[in-house]
A and B are shown apart, each in its own frame.
Chain A
């Protein structure tokens, strides 16, 4: 009953909440062994897109295909291949690091849970703090633990929402290295982030969202920061021209 895929296709996905369009006809496709960056200003729809990709929210129109199946067709087995690291780290502060990992390992029905947990603790550099309660951890430590939790079941698609927030330089670099390692092993990694410096060396591809729409990315070979800025500016210029036309009372 296991399920796997090597391609993710977002097909004309829109999502609205009442009158607000959080995502507007977004289309995107990724293959195994890619790190895609999801950039954009606050409120652009990055978190919404990640929620949809993780099957927690359904699109209002359009579909998401994992391989050739939608979430509905693939059923619960799909979730065994998805990993999500959200803003809130989904850790139980009252439990120890080891207990947190053990709980999720058992919940996911992973065999040889204790070995997996030990490996994960080593990866996260928390082996010496394994039996300390998570509420005493720093943000960086929790982030590392949360990442390991998301990776326990070796997902095919890893979704990360602002993973670099609150990390110091060393931890940030370590995370970049880890993600690259996962990419090399065939993971599809989608990272929503504001941290353009760290993302610089990390991303294979770029997707820029603004007001729920995917913008055409400026194709310059300059730094990520410049490309992003150019993309946003091009979109803003296009939008103001449109507004100018409407303002003159012309029907569109």
Chain B
């Protein structure tokens, strides 16, 4: 009679090691953003007691550490995703406006894709699925501009006015360069068109060999958005870097079994 052996648990290995830090910063940024957005609203503490939020934050921290160190990734990933969904629901209830803060979306989309693969028993596809989901977010952003404004979106005046608003309202040291850009319709057209092209080129995340080149372009896009518009999307940058330059290998077997397994013959 064969001895009963415990069913192997999946493990998640992030390589190189700093991928763990990069994706961790993205997750932490998503949670921190939720916290700030929720509690800057008067009366938020009456809807969600800070003690409860603190407990949720500790749970997020624990689940995040477990996920990033590959411990029970199916469970810890699902817990992380669930906590982000709860936080987003609380934010929507407290703030009263949904979809305004996008910082939380990319870490959650990448997680959702990984967790879905694990739940379907397709752990090895987790990284690929996360790349597809993240690329889709950028393509959606480009599509929204095309559907919402069409070719008028990259006419100079559109971006020019947005940048001019941030020139008068942003930090003093950026006022002059922002104003110079805003008053140059040709430059604004080029920048707007480049934005649209890079966003739509998010489809490159479907091809492993194209990911790094597109990620560099996306980093340039985020740098430009930060300088001209003042939006620093740290979580998005970190997710793109983690997925394009790192590797998330979710194995259906635990590490000990894998190491102990004899080499296959024949």
A and B from one assembly? Answer: no
Residues of B whose CB lies within 8 Å of any CB of A are none
